[in-house]
Amino acid sequence: MSTGTGAAAFRRVCALADVPDEGALGLEVDDTPIAVVRSEGQVYAISDVCSHAEVALSEGDVEDGTIECWLHGSCFDLASGKPINPPATRPVATYPVKIDGDDVLVSLDKNS
């Protein structure tokens, strides 16, 4: 039957083809803003709200496993959600991702 608790359930959020290479797709999953990001062949899901001011990270540039906030330039590590440079000092939430064929599945059960 089903595995795990409801909170840990993975659900399909988009097609893999919808996530640009070295780019991001901003989505809402159960009213939670999520950025699905592809960098260097890996797919990540992070909060789509910068921890510095509330703007969408999915509109920033993606490079080398990081995403750069378009407003003040903090870069966040996509795997850990940690900021690499100021002005942001707090990490953003990261979420578990699974790829199933051409589907991207995300769990809202935060990694961090």
Q: Which residues bind ligand FES (CB under 6 A)?
A: 50, 52-53, 55, 69, 71-72, 74, 87-88
Q: Which CB, 8 or 53, lies closer to ligand FES?
A: 53
Q: Which CB, 16 or 71, lies closer to ligand FES?
A: 71
CB of 51 to ligand FES, least distance (A): 7
C-alpha 25/C-alpha 59 separation (Å) is 8
Q: Which CB, 68 or 103, lies closer to ligand FES?
A: 68
Which DSSP string do the residues of 27-81 spell out, in sequence order?
Answer: EEETTEEEEEEEETTEEEEEESS-SSSS--GGGSEEETTEEE-TTT--EEETTT-
